[in-house]
Each structure stands twice: as structure tokens, then as C-alpha cells.
């Protein structure tokens, strides 16, 4: 599976944190930090907006590195993504992502590395 598909199925290639990191774009870091601060109700600084992708080698945002329950679960189980889990469609942790983002769910379904009933 494409390493820029996150554990949850979101596409890191389209994430402003990754784009700002790859382009070394401080203006985009600032804009992203302001937006994410508003959306999450916590202070996020532009220095936190450094990420090469959830599953890619390199730096991660503090949330992706340490706080994301989906990423922690995938890593703990030794999966590539949630698409490798037989509980994909019943997972309460993943539900907020795949219930609102059809692309994420499709990425997980199409990237399965093991045969499992859908």
C-alpha cells in the first residue's frame, strides 16, 4: 500500500502539514496551525506543523506521533493500516474517520494486505 495512506486511510499527500513540511513553507504552517487550533480547541503552534506522513519515515506532528489512538492501535497490532484489521467496519475508534470520509474507507479497503471478508 502507498506509504502516504495513513493508518486510518486518510491521504497524507493532501495534508497541509505534510505539504508545508515538504515545501518548507512557514506561511502554510502558520495557516494550518491557526486552523487546527480553532478546530481542535487547543493551541497548536506552527513549529508543531512538521510531518512527512503517518506511515512514512521522518518527523510527525505531536498528535500523529504520540496521541493518535488509531495509529497506536495499528502499530500495536503490527498492521500496515486499519484495512488489515477484521474489525474495520465495527471499530468505534475508526468510525469518526470512515463514516465521514468515503475516500479513507475506500483506501483502507483497496489497500488490504490480507484476504478478509468485506
Model confidence at 108, pLDDT cuts 50, 70, 90, reads very high
Structural domain includes residue 6: no
Structural domain includes residue 30: yes
Mean pLDDT, residues 109-113 taken together: 73
Structural domain includes residue 2: no
Partnered with residue 5 across adjacent β-strands are: 11
Mean pLDDT, residues 28-33 taken together: 97
φ and ψ of 91, to 5 deg: -80, 120
Q: How high does pLDDT run on average in the chain?
A: 91
- Sequence-distant (≥ 6) Cβ neighbours of residue 11 within 8 angstroms: 4, 5, 103, 104, 107
- Sequence-distant (≥ 6) Cβ neighbours of residue 24 within 8 angstroms: none
Give pLDDT, residue 115. Answer: 47
Q: Which domain holds residue 24?
A: 12-110
Structural domain includes residue 23: yes
pTM across the whole model: 0.85
Structural domain includes residue 102: yes
On the question of pLDDT at 118 being above 90, the answer is no
Structural domain includes residue 39: yes
Structural domain includes residue 118: no
Structural domain includes residue 4: no
- Total tally of structural domains belonging to the chain: 1
Cα angle, residue 102 at apex, residues 4 and 56 outer, rounded to 5°: 10
Amino acid at each position: 500500500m502507498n506509504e502516504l495512506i495513513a493508518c486510518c486511510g486518510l491521504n497524507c499527500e493532501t495534508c497541509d502539514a505534510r505539504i508545508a513540511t515538504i515545501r518548507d513553507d512557514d506561511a502554510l504552517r502558520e495557516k494550518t496551525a491557526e486552523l487546527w487550533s480553532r478546530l481542535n480547541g487547543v493551541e497548536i503552534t506552527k513549529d508543531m506543523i512538521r510531518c512527512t506522513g503517518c506511515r512514512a519515515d521522518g518527523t510527525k506532528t505531536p498528535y500523529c506521533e504520540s496521541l493518535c489512538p488509531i495509529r497506536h492501535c495499528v502499530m500495536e497490532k503490527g498492521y500496515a493500516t486499519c484495512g488489515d484489521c477484521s474489525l474495520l467496519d465495527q471499530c468505534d475508534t475508526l468510525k469518526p474517520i470512515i463514516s465521514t470520509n468515503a475516500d479513507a474507507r475506500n483506501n483502507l479497503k483497496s489497500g488490504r494486505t490480507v484476504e478478509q471478508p468485506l
